[in-house]
Amino acid sequence: VAVSQDTFTIEVSDVGFLIREESGKYLIRYRTPSVSVIELPAVFVVCVSREKVFAIPKRCVPEDQMEEIRTLMKDGLGEKYQVWDK
Residues of the chain short of pLDDT 50, as ranges, are: none
**Nearest residue to 47 (alpha-carbon basis) of 86, 71, 75, 73:** 73
Closest CA to 48 of 60, 61, 32: 32
Measured CA distances, 6 to 3, 56, 84, 86 (Å): 9, 13, 26, 28
pTM for this structure? 0.86
Paired with 28 in beta bridges are: 17
What single-letter DSSP state applies at residue 23? Answer: T
Give the tens place of pLDDT for each residue, 60-76.
999 999 999 999 999 99
